[in-house]
């Protein structure tokens, strides 16, 4: 097991590589190219430059999060074959520099959704939060509310150029129900997994966040049953998962240690996002919490124990953190709380390993 830390690159991230290097036990930087439009090939030279920077800081680069999927692939348009060819070339380019795992998601239009990026907790820290009632309304209203309450940062998948055409995107998805979305995922997997096998790269699909349909858009990775269906689409071992404890944990019916026990032993989990969430009392509404088990609704010890027991040997990164100690950067991705989380998770791991 190695601990990793997500990084948004030298220009966009207030966190510097040397900061990450100073977190005890941080070994991996989970990076990506953020200036390549979705659907385009990631140029080899740019990938090499990213790797060189990370390695010069004494850290490793074997996981990419995320190579995003063009909407035409998820909708199943005839133009998808062109975007799939580009994706195949990106896989080859990443393999050339030694990347082993590609995290991605298959959520229509939006990546993860929160309705508040600065939910203030009793201790004065701020966390990301989700209240379902906001999503029943017009997505455009929610988009505006989030963008206006925020200091110029957008959630991944909420990029201004995509939001500008959000109405068009909703129309394009009008006939895409869960069955069709699943068929389009299978089409994509059948096309790219042979390339992954040749290149020794494993795909790691991230769960839908939150794990339920929103704005009438389908969701196909919500729970263990969905994971079984995705494995059944294509049995290749390159068809793997990112287990995101927070995303799956946002449905209290999901037993995360059981999911870990089922899929890690199959060799399908190269990557884990570890974070805690707390249900706020109204249905599925939640806010994010510090990693410590007692701060939230998830048992982080049981999660780490399941990973340890199943011989997990991939990368774990603390997922989101709160804004603490006056840090007011990219929501969810500050340095301090994620560093505390990483340290705590490492402490759990050491205790489990030695006991
Ligand atoms: C949510 C976050 C997401 C995730 C992408 C993966 O839990 O981890 O930003 O990275 O959805 O593609
Ligand atoms: Mn995650």
Measured from the Cα of 68, ligand 1's closest atom is 12
Residue 295's domain spans which residues?
2-354
Ligand 1 atom nearest to CA at 105: 12
To the query of whether residue 83 is one of the catalytic residues in this protein, the response is no
Q: Output phi, psi for 311, to 5 deg.
A: 70, 30
Phi-psi region of 194 (alpha: psi -120 to 50; beta: other; left: phi over 0): alpha
Whether 206 is catalytic is: yes
Report the nearest-CA residue for atom 1 of ligand 1: 112
| Secondary structure letter of residue 43 according to DSSP | P
The answer to whether residue 82 is catalytic is no
116, 319, 323, 337: the catalytic one is: 319
71 Cβ below 6 A of ligand 1 = no
247 lines ligand 1 (CB under 6 A): yes
Separation CA 322–CA 318 (nearest Å): 11
Contact (CB, 8 A) for 18 and 305: no
Task: Confirm or reject: Cβ of 245 under 6 Å from ligand 1.
Answer: no
Q: Would residue 319 show up in a list of annotated catalytic residues for this protein? A: yes
Measured CA distances, 194 to 79, 104, 122, 309 (Å): 21, 17, 50, 31
Asked whether 303 and 260 are in contact (CB, 8 A), the reply is: yes
Complex prediction ipTM: 0.95
Cα 122 to Cα 125, 127, 223, 246, distances in angstroms: 7, 11, 31, 21
- Local confidence pLDDT in tens for the 355 residues of the chain: 999 999 999 998 999 999 999 999 999 999 999 999 999 999 999 999 999 999 999 999 999 999 999 999 999 999 999 999 999 999 999 999 999 999 999 999 888 888 888 899 999 999 999 988 887 767 777 776 666 655 555 665 666 676 677 888 889 999 999 999 999 999 999 999 999 999 999 999 999 999 998 888 999 999 999 999 999 999 999 999 999 999 999 999 999 999 999 999 999 999 999 999 999 988 899 999 999 999 999 999 999 999 999 999 999 999 999 999 999 888 999 999 999 999 999 999 999 999 9
Instruction: Output the domain CATH number for residue 23.
Output: 3.20.20.150
Ligand 1 atom with the shortest distance to the CA of 242: 6
Q: State how many domains the chain has.
A: 1
Question: Is 320 a known active-site residue?
Answer: yes
* Ligand 2 ion: nearby residues, β-carbon < 5 Å: 244, 273, 319
């Amino acid at each position: 097991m190695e601990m990793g830390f997500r990084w948004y690159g030298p220009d966009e991230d207030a966190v510097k590589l040397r900061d990450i290097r100073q977190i005890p036990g941080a070994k991996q930087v989970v990076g990506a190219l953020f200036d390549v439009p979705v659907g385009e090939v990631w140029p080899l030279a740019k990938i090499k430059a990213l790797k060189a920077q990370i390695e010069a800081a004494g850290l490793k680069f074997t996981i990419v999060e995320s190579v995003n999927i063009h909407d035409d692939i998820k909708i199943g348009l005839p133009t998808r074959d062109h975007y799939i060819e580009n994706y195949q070339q990106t896989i080859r380019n990443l393999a050339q520099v030694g990347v082993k795992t590609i995290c991605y998601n298959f959520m229509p239009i939006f990546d993860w959704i929160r309705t508040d990026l600065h939910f203030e907790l009793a201790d004065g820290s701020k966390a990301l939060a989700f209240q379902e009632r906001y999503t029943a309304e017009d997505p455009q209203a929610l988009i505006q509310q989030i963008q206006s309450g925020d200091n110029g940062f957008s959630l991944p998948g909420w990029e201004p150029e995509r939001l500008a055409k959000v109405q068009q995107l909703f129309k394009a998805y009008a006939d895409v129900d869960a069955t069709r979305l699943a068929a389009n995922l299978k089409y994509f997997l059948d096309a790219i997994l042979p390339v992954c096998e040749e290149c020794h790269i494993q795909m790691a699909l991230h769960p839908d966040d939150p794990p339920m349909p929103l704005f009438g858009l389908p969701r196909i990775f919500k729970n263990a049953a969905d994971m079984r269906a995705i494995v059944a689409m294509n049995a290749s071992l390159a068809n793997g998962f990112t287990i995101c404890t927070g995303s799956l944990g946002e449905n209290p019916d999901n037993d995360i240690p059981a999911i870990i026990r089922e899929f890690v032993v199959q060799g399908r989990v190269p990557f884990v996002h570890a974070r805690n969430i707390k249900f706020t009392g109204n249905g599925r509404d939640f806010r994010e919490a510090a990693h410590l088990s007692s701060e939230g609704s998830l048992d982080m010890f049981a999660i780490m124990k399941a990973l340890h027991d199943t011989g997990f040997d991939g990368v774990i990164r603390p997922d989101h953190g709160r804004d603490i100690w006056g840090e007011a950067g990219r929501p969810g991705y500050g340095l301090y709380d994620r560093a505390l989380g990483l340290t705590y998770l490492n402490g759990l791991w050491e205790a489990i390993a030695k006991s």
